[in-house]
Structure 1
Amino acid sequence: MKISLKNAIALSLVLQIIFVKWLGSHTDWVENYYSTGLYPFISKIFRSLFGWIPFSMGDLLYFLLIIMAIVFFIKSRKTILRNKLKFLRDIVMVLSVAYFTFHLMWGLNYYREPLAVKLKLTETKDFQELIDFTKQLIQKTNEAQFFITQDSSIPVHIPYSQKEMFQITVAGYDNLKIEHPFLNYSTPSIKASLFSTGLTYMGYAGYLNPFTNEAQVNGLLPSFRFPVVTGHEIGHQLGYSAENETNFIGYLVTAKNKDKYFQYAAYAYALGYCLNDLHRRDPEIFDMVFSKLSPGVKANFQEMNVFWNSYKNPMEPVFKSIFNSFLKANNQTEGIQSYNAVVSLLVAYHKQHPL
């Protein structure tokens, strides 16, 4: 009995999932043949195609697909109700094509070798090491804040445009590749999202579109957070999918930038994660350490809290739950909590490279 093309494509989804999970158990193959082999070629093609366009083609692609889906459901609702199994088959077929395209274009990077292996880092969760590193970060953050403002009570506001911050971040990658050649970034494609308001209501600071390889940054973010998020999304473009790893890359490229505003942004970003980890593990020690922060730095942290709280809505937990499930399905066992796992990378790295 012949199987139609649509049925074959739909059925192939199961085989694809099995193949990807099997391939994911061979991280050396993914690293050598995809992440450092095929993927850089694919990503540069798409960055060349779309990077010069001043607005996000990926945002428009998603918008058009959503509109087309809504129009299709409205026009075909009676046919769908009469042919439920056929409609279900078509949905699975679309998912199969999307699954294949996603993994070919970017998604297999979820199964590459960990960044800690490439950097020869030994991660630990030693509590005393976390305390010591957090104290060092507080000192560096306070010093950077005072150097910029000359007043410990004034929060830092980066005076650059978003376009200038994109350019400074790219220059930072040019410097970073001297020390870490595998973080070489060329053919930039970084943009403020057309739907930054929507991203903010969803609770996202940015995202990489895997189908156009454009790095989108939430254009509403407070300026002192913008550089690290830009570095984070470029880290995704370079083929690092794990959120803790791109958090670390975003920190590293920003901290090693020659610009003092960027250095402050990096220290404050890393400090936020360390303080959160400290608070979770010992609130009393957190209170003692947090008291050492200068008022200006605290004001910047408060600025971030006010920003996100002003966009809180009942749907945000739903979006985050969906993203949490997506991460877990793609080899990120900690889900959305994997963002916080950057702390062990930071501590391990600065044991070898003191602040």
Structure 2
Amino acid sequence: MIPGVVAYILNKYAQNHPDWAEQYSRTGYPVLSNAVGFLPSLVKFSVGEWLVVLVLLLLLLYIGYYVRKVIISKGTRRMEVYRGVMGIVAMGSMLYFCFTVLSGLNYHRDSFLSYTEYHEEQYSVAELAELCQSLADDMKPVREELGEDNDLLVQAPDDFDYYTQHAVLSLQMLSKQYPVMARSLYSTPKPVVMSKLMSRAGIEGIFCPFTLESNINVDMPVFMIPAAMTHELAHQCGFMQEDEAGFISFLACMQQDEPMIRYSGLFLAFDHSISALEKVDPDKALEIESSLSQKVQHDMVQNEQYWGKYDGIISNVSTRVNDAYLKANNQTDGVSSYDKMVNLLLAEQRYNLLRTSVSLSKMN
């Protein structure tokens, strides 16, 4: 019980004192996360995935053990029930404490924008349309570099290791511009054996705070994998807000000339941005989508078809659980917070346009 109480107090304090949470994220968290993540980082498989399986197995055995104790006991059944329940509470308390110090407190830190020159403000529909068109224009030549192969669903076995190294490199390159992203230990993303189950749940990647691993769904379209990797690595760097992790993922992918990495980042940004435009100006959104190259349109269709076939009870339950989890961790918009990365993309666009305008005025 005590670890859980301590964790609750720490969370409440961090929520009311973001300066302290930021200080912890930049001092205590890196030390603890490196210590915990070191051993899992030495292997290529996901320790977190098998840890979940082990915990569930032990939990079933534990429940079975106490159910048997209750059945065979006569005068002490209430005591056995009490012991069994308190054991589960104690385990939950310890898990909650570990989650808090290895992840939870980071939800209350300063926004990533505080480390940039961008400012999140109100943006017009015209600016959103301009963003979508700019991303669409950037996607075409990058997609051409990927060759004539129209099927980017299938991934070669060696590709995953290649992208893990480049995903880490992308974060390292980005950290030169934003030192707050720097880490002495980047645990490379891990493939998940039960990726089909992740697809059924509508999940692209999961950051495991107990092993500091970025777990990736390797069954989804390959052009989504690099962006998923950099997104989860952003969480590993201590930025837990989903919109910020998405924005960092985009920035990281743009650090490299490797076409698949860049295309993945652009596809992620365009997918969220065009969805936002469809809500406010569907005609303009359709016009921009129609201007995409046939290959990009084909990729969009394949991506929609892939996730569409897994729509159902499992994905709906998963979405609701994730929504509740995010709201419980200082993200009031829940799953909608993923789409808020568009505001950060618009902030970057406005800043770049203003900087270009100032440079031109100085030249004149």
Which residue in 2 is equivalent to 1:207? 206
* 1:146 paired to 2:137: no
Q: Residues 47, 95 of structure 1: CA spacing in aligned structure 2 closer, same or farther, 3 A cutoff? A: closer
**Are the counterparts in 2 of residues 80 and 87 from structure 1 also a CA contact under 8 Å?**
no
Relative to the length of structure 2, the TM-score reads 0.87
Out of 118-127 and 230-239, give the one that drifted further. Answer: 118-127
Which residue in 1 is equivalent to 2:36? 46
Which residue in 2 is equivalent to 1:92? 89
1:81-140: CA deviation from partner (whole Å, max 9, x where unpaired): 843555444333322221111111221100100111121321134222111111111111
- Residue 245 of structure 2 aligns with an amino acid whose one-letter code is T
Counterparts of 1:144 and 1:283 in 2: how far apart (Å)? 26
- Residue 49 of structure 1 aligns with an amino acid whose one-letter code is L
Counterparts of 2:145 and 2:210 in 1: how far apart (Å)? 42
- Residue 29 of structure 1 aligns with an amino acid whose one-letter code is W
* 1:116 paired to 2:118: no
Which residue in 2 is equivalent to 1:17? 8
CA shift, 1:25, in A, is: 1.6
CA shift, 1:261, in A, is: 2.2
Counterparts of 2:276 and 2:172 in 1: how far apart (Å)? 32
CA shift, 1:285, in A, is: 2.3
Look up the SS of the partner of 2:222 in the other structure.
coil
Counterparts of 1:88 and 1:263 in 2: how far apart (Å)? 50
Pairing 1:267-278 to 2, within 5 Å after superposition: 267-278=266-277
Look up the SS of the partner of 1:353 in the other structure.
helix
Pairing 1:147-162 to 2, within 5 Å after superposition: 147-149=145-147, 154=150, 161-162=159-160
Runs of 4+ aligned residues of structure 1 deviating over 6 Å after TM superposition are 157-160
Which residue in 2 is equivalent to 1:107? 104
Pairing 1:165-314 to 2, within 5 Å after superposition: 165-189=163-187, 190-314=189-313
Counterparts of 2:43 and 2:256 in 1: how far apart (Å)? 26
Q: Residues 303, 185 of structure 1: CA spacing in aligned structure 2 closer, same or farther, 3 A cutoff? A: farther
Counterparts of 2:193 and 2:106 in 1: how far apart (Å)? 26
Q: Residues 280, 88 of structure 1: CA spacing in aligned structure 2 closer, same or farther, 3 A cutoff? A: farther
**Are the counterparts in 2 of residues 170 and 185 from structure 1 also a CA contact under 8 Å?**
no
1:191-248: CA deviation from partner (whole Å, max 9, x where unpaired): 1123212211111101111011011111112111111100011101100111111111
CA shift, 1:333, in A, is: 0.5
Q: Residues 132, 23 of structure 1: CA spacing in aligned structure 2 closer, same or farther, 3 A cutoff? A: same
CA shift, 1:176, in A, is: 1.8
Counterparts of 2:109 and 2:10 in 1: how far apart (Å)? 15
Structure 2: 5+ residue runs without aligned partners?
A: 72-76, 357-364
Counterparts of 1:323 and 1:200 in 2: how far apart (Å)? 14
Q: Residues 186, 198 of structure 1: CA spacing in aligned structure 2 closer, same or farther, 3 A cutoff? A: farther
1:25-77: CA deviation from partner (whole Å, max 9, x where unpaired): 21111111x10001111122233211111211111111000011112222322
Relative to the length of structure 1, the TM-score reads 0.90
Q: Residues 104, 16 of structure 1: CA spacing in aligned structure 2 closer, same or farther, 3 A cutoff? A: closer
Structure 1: 5+ residue runs without aligned partners?
A: 1-8
Counterparts of 1:248 and 1:91 in 2: how far apart (Å)? 38
Counterparts of 1:154 and 1:198 in 2: how far apart (Å)? 26
**Are the counterparts in 2 of residues 156 and 296 from structure 1 also a CA contact under 8 Å?**
no
Q: Residues 147, 21 of structure 1: CA spacing in aligned structure 2 closer, same or farther, 3 A cutoff? A: same
CA RMSD of aligned residues (A): 2.2
Counterparts of 2:37 and 2:6 in 1: how far apart (Å)? 30
**Are the counterparts in 2 of residues 172 and 258 from structure 1 also a CA contact under 8 Å?**
no
Which residue in 2 is equivalent to 1:5? none
CA shift, 1:282, in A, is: 2.5
Out of 296-305 and 86-95, give the one that drifted further. Answer: 86-95
1:69 to 24, 49, 59: 59
Q: Residues 222, 185 of structure 1: CA spacing in aligned structure 2 closer, same or farther, 3 A cutoff? A: farther
Counterparts of 1:298 and 1:124 in 2: how far apart (Å)? 31
Counterparts of 1:229 and 1:166 in 2: how far apart (Å)? 10
- Residue 114 of structure 1 aligns with an amino acid whose one-letter code is S
**Are the counterparts in 2 of residues 155 and 296 from structure 1 also a CA contact under 8 Å?**
no
Question: How many pairs align?
Answer: 343
Counterparts of 1:88 and 1:58 in 2: how far apart (Å)? 25
